Amino acid sequence: MSSSTSTSRKKARKAKNAAGNRTDPGWEHGFEVDGDPTKVKCKYCGVVRGGGIYRHKHHLAGTRSNVEPCLQVPDEVKLNFRQLLEANAQKSNEKRKKINDIGEEEENYDDDDEVEVTFDSNEIDLDHILDDGDEMGAAATGGTSTGSDDVEDGSFGYDD
């Protein structure tokens, strides 16, 4: 199969917010200005403002969240966008709470908590390994561990 045949079968995907591929309900009540999706013109009052469709939805809902409310939007549209923004905020808070709960679970883990580790159905006794830390240190260095690393003369092994 030639490369031109394989590329012609693949459809180019448009960006989610690209003109002609917009699913956000806010675009039904406003349109972009000069091909810039961050500048939206309200279909009801004709005001052009920056901030994209997010800010335009607040304009339509009349939330006064960093934008003036539209005075000419029908009450039904205003109510629909208020409900939409409240639902989006609730979903965002739930998602944030889940993320925070996961983080708190990790923070609540103590080093003193008993841990059982298995590998190929063989149990490893971590408490035994941790209790024998001095022996492991001595074995790793090839010497005996005295339990103290201090040098009596205070030179710490450096020649002055």
- Mean pLDDT for the stretch of residues 96-119: 67
> Residue 43 falls within a domain, yes or no?
yes
Q: Which position has the higher pLDDT, 142 or 73?
A: 73
Closest to 56 (Cα-Cα) out of 71, 72, 38, 74:
38
Closest to 60 (Cα-Cα) out of 46, 48, 42:
42
Please tell me the pTM assigned to this model: 0.53
Amino acid making up residue 1:
M
The answer to whether 76 and 82 have CB atoms below 8 angstroms apart is no
Count of domains in the chain?
A: 1
> Residue 87 falls within a domain, yes or no?
yes
- The tens digit of pLDDT for each residue in 121-141 reads 455 555 555 555 554 444 444
pLDDT at 100: 86
pLDDT surpassing 70 at residue 159: no
- The tens digit of pLDDT for each residue in 22-42 reads 888 999 999 999 989 899 999
> Residue 51 falls within a domain, yes or no?
yes
> Residue 138 falls within a domain, yes or no?
no
Amino acid making up residue 97:
K
- The tens digit of pLDDT for each residue in 54-95 reads 999 999 999 998 899 999 999 999 999 999 999 999 999 999
- Other C-beta atoms within 10 Å of 137: how many? 14
> Residue 38 falls within a domain, yes or no?
yes
> Residue 114 falls within a domain, yes or no?
no
> Residue 82 falls within a domain, yes or no?
yes
Domain of residue 51, residue span: 17-102
Angle between helices 52-61 and 75-107 (to 10 degrees): 120
